[in-house]
Chains A and B, each alone.
Chain A
Amino acid sequence: MRYVPTLNDDSLGNGLKLSATLHFLMFLFLYFGLPHLIPPLPSHHEPVPFEIVAIADITNVRVAENPEEEKQLPPPPAPEPKPQAAALAQPKAEEVEALKPKPMEKPKPPAEKPAPQQDLLGSVLKNVAKLKQTEEVKNADQKTDAKTSAPSTPGLAPALSSRLTITEEDALRRQIGQCWNPPIGARDVQSLVVEISIDVNPDRTVADVDIVDKGRYASDSFFRAAADAAVRAVRNPKCSPLELAPDKYEQWKRIDFTFDPRDML
Chain B
Amino acid sequence: MRSIQGFVALVALAVLGFANPARAEIKIDITRGVVEPIPIAIPSFFGAAASESQYGRDIADVVSADLVRSGLFSAVDPRSFVQDANSLLVQPHFADWRVLNAQALVVGKIEMQSDGRLKVEFRLWDVFSEQQMTGLAYFSIPNNWRRVAHIVADAIYKRITGEDGYFDTRVVYIAETGPLDKRVKRLAIMDQDGENNRVLSDGRAMVLTPRFSPTMQQITYMAYYNNRPRVYLFNIDTGAQTVLGDFDHMTFAPRFSPGGNRVVFALSEGGNSNIYTMDLRTHHIQKLTSGSAISSAPCFSPDGQHITFESDRGGSQQIYVMNEDGSNVQRISFGEGNYGTPVWSPRGDLIAFTKMHDGMFYIGVMRPDGSGERELVEAWHAEGPTWAPNGRVLMYFKEAPSSHGSTPHLYSVDLTGYNEREIQTPTDASDPAWSPLLP
Contact = CB atoms under 8 A, between A and B. Distances in A.
Nearest to B107: A99
A102 B416 contact: no
A183 B161 contact: yes
B103 A128 contact: no
A260 B30 contact: yes
Given A128-B378, A155-B23, A226 B162 contact: yes
A185 interface: yes
A186 interface: yes
Contacts of A107: 98, 128
A85 interface: yes
Interface in B115-142: 120-123, 126, 128-133, 135-141
A85 B237 CA distance: 8
A262 interface: yes
B406 interface: no
A126 B418 contact: yes
Interface centre among B33, B196, B439 (most CB of A within 10 A): B33
Given A221-B158, A222-B163, A101 B140 contact: no
A262 to B, nearest CB: 5
A64 B419 contact: yes
A64 B135 CA distance: 31
B421 interface: yes
Contacts of B136: 93-96
B34 interface: yes
B325 to A, nearest CB: 28
A205 interface: no
A105 B91 contact: no
A224 B392 CA distance: 18
Contact of A99 (B123, B162, B375): B123
B71 interface: yes
Contacts of B101: 238
A251 B131 CA distance: 29
Contact of A251 (B25, B32, B33, B424): B25
A228 B126 contact: yes
Contacts of A225: 159-163
A18 interface: no
Interface in B63-85: 68-69, 71
Nearest to B135: A96
B195 interface: yes
Interface in A80-139: 81, 83-85, 87-99, 101-102, 104-105, 107-108, 117, 124-130
Interface string A47-77: 0000000000001111010110010100110
Pairs A-B, 9 closest by C-beta atoms: A126-B417, A225-B162, A96-B135, A180-B33, A235-B128, A222-B162, A91-B140, A64-B418, A91-B138
Interface of B: 22-36, 38, 68-69, 71, 91, 94-95, 98-99, 101, 103, 120-123, 126, 128-133, 135-141, 143-144, 147-148, 151, 155, 158-163, 194-199, 236-237, 347, 349, 362, 364, 374-378, 391-392, 414-422, 424-426, 438-439
